[in-house]
Amino acid sequence: MSTGTQPTGTSPKVAESKRSKRAGRIADHASGGVVALLVKIGLLAVVDAIAVYALFILFLKQDWVIFAIVVVFTAAINIIYFSKRMLPAKYLAPGLVFLLIFQVFVIGYTAYISVTNYGTGHNSTKDDAVTSLIQSAQYRVPDSATYDLAIVEQLGTFNFLVTDPDGDVLLGNTDTPLDEVSGADMSGGKAVGLAGYNTLNFADIISNQDQIAAMTVQVSDDPNDGALRTPDGSSAYLYLSTLSFDEAADTMTNTETGVVYADTGNGAFTSADGEELLPGWSVVVGADNYTKAFTDESIRGPLLSVTLWTFAFALLSVATTFVLGLFLAIVFNDMRMRGRKFYRVLMILPYAFPGFLGALVWAGMLNQDFGFVNLTLFGGADIPWLTNEWLAKGSILFVNLWLGFPYMFLVCTGALQSIPDELQEAARMDGANPWQVFRRIKFPLLLVSIAPLLIASFAFNFNNFNLIYMLTNGGPRDASASINVGGSDILISMVYKVAFVGANRDYGLASAFSIIIFLIVAIIAVVSFRQTKALEDLN
């Protein structure tokens, strides 16, 4: 991506001579004033300063992968903007950085997550799982020593400042185990403060009670040694865990029952009789999620019906809005009619109304027990508009008609008005009746300009999450399914519910669904590109 500053429009046959290139460079140089140069250097300085700060933190955290990525990005940006060449890159780089991270990278990351068991119970790394298992099985050691304690705060993090029974002063917090410190302020044999830290007074402790009571500070690097906890913020006690981790054998042992849990590669410590200790950690499980999606009947069934409904919903939405919009465009495209502007403004109001609010308002109006439609329009009927599977699907299409017809009305009106009148008159001269004029002349011409918009509208509705989620919440819940999915869910709302709604979140399965949708959409796109030959227009 790097050639000079050649302008477009000049005939490509005329080869750019060296002299004109040089002239272009001189012109560039001459035009950029001192101010522009300063702004450019200033912005680069800001970027580099942020990068150096980030690298410093990453170095401390020893996160080498991200470290390398930041180095590469920063180097690339500096090279691009300090070099005299690479003009196109100067214009593309800012957008590309965001695109690469938040669009391209996340696609790849989705593919990666789809082959893991990431989700509730399998959230983090194995080390974190070990620590949290040991902590969750902690009990206070009976008759153990009492440690004098002061809570000290630094940069928003609370630390334990402990004086152990031998008189040694130690400091630690939830992330770092206790370590000996010197130079603490002592008062009555008890450390009460440390340079660089603020000691919390009684009132501060009371107001942060929950956070302090939840703190566990490990005594040493080895989680088996136990941890300190405090019930009151002034003295701490040693807690030991009923679980003990054997690093060499890679097993977790329950010290009370003697049951040994081993790492069997499923992302959790599992006992011989199959009992799993949760939380576990995330591991690569290969194609398990995909196999599950296609072979497990309680997932395959809903996946299939949701996919069919997604297509039906998107197609019917486009069809109904287009038919109504086109009809209205024809009706109101008559110059003899008065007050057309008035009708037009009022009719496009639903389109101006934010979509998610529209869906919520309709959810209220269609409410089975208290909604306006049932109580007032149907005189106290008890129709389950949103909770019966088929009625819910009908309601969704109806509400989407309300939301979407003004758009089709607007674009159809525009397209109709751009068809020259002469065509119509010529047809009438030849004896065509109004229907024939419409069917044979106007409609084909209209379709030429509207067809791309219909495809775009289909693509939009294919992922029209807001409408489904706000109106019916995907309901009614499909009882036969083992995942959180309902009768009126479309693919995207199913992904969202599997990943983020309810107690049992399954990121791996949700990502596998995402990839499946991606493949479906890609196939449709390839086919439709072939049909429209849209790509040939690119020059």
20 is written with which tokens?
């004109």
Is the bond into 354 cis (omega within 30 degrees of 0)? no
- Coil vs helix vs strand at 162: strand
**Least distance from C-beta 251 to another protein, angstroms?**
28
Going from the C-alpha of 97 to that of each of 73, 87, 106, 389, the distances in angstroms are: 8, 16, 13, 44
**Least distance from C-beta 356 to another protein, angstroms?**
5
CB nearer to another protein: pick between 186 and 346: 346
460 is written with which tokens?
């939009």
Taking alpha carbons only, the member of 434, 451, 458 closest to residue 330 is 434
**Least distance from C-beta 455 to another protein, angstroms?**
9
CB nearer to another protein: pick between 7 and 189: 7
Reported as type and span, the H/E element at residue 262 is strand 260-263
CB nearer to another protein: pick between 184 and 399: 399
**Least distance from C-beta 52 to another protein, angstroms?**
13
CB nearer to another protein: pick between 259 and 316: 316
What is d(CA 506, CA 122) in angstroms, rounded to the nearest whole number? 9
Under 8 Å between Cβ of 487 and 392: yes
CB nearer to another protein: pick between 270 and 457: 457
What is d(CA 453, CA 384) in angstroms, rounded to the nearest whole number? 34
Under 8 Å between Cβ of 140 and 297: no
CB nearer to another protein: pick between 82 and 500: 500
CB nearer to another protein: pick between 261 and 469: 469
| Residue 197, burial from CB neighbour count under 10 angstroms (0-12, 13-18, 19+) | buried
**Least distance from C-beta 149 to another protein, angstroms?**
27
Which residues, other chains included, contact 324 with Cβ-Cβ below 8 Å and sequence gap of 6+? 401, 405, 408, 409
**Least distance from C-beta 240 to another protein, angstroms?**
28
Which residues, other chains included, contact 356 with Cβ-Cβ below 8 Å and sequence gap of 6+? 466, 470
Q: How many other CB atoms sit within 10 Å of the CB of residue 512? A: 28
**Least distance from C-beta 236 to another protein, angstroms?**
26
CB nearer to another protein: pick between 237 and 398: 398
CB nearer to another protein: pick between 76 and 259: 76
Under 8 Å between Cβ of 446 and 415: yes
| Residue 266, burial from CB neighbour count under 10 angstroms (0-12, 13-18, 19+) | middle
**Least distance from C-beta 180 to another protein, angstroms?**
27
CB nearer to another protein: pick between 248 and 535: 535
CB nearer to another protein: pick between 158 and 239: 158
Is the bond into 476 cis (omega within 30 degrees of 0)? yes
What is d(CA 458, CA 408) in angstroms, rounded to the nearest whole number? 12
Per DSSP, which regions of 433-474 are E strands? none
**Least distance from C-beta 138 to another protein, angstroms?**
24
Judged by phi (left if over 0) then psi (alpha if -120 to 50, else beta), residue 242 lies in alpha
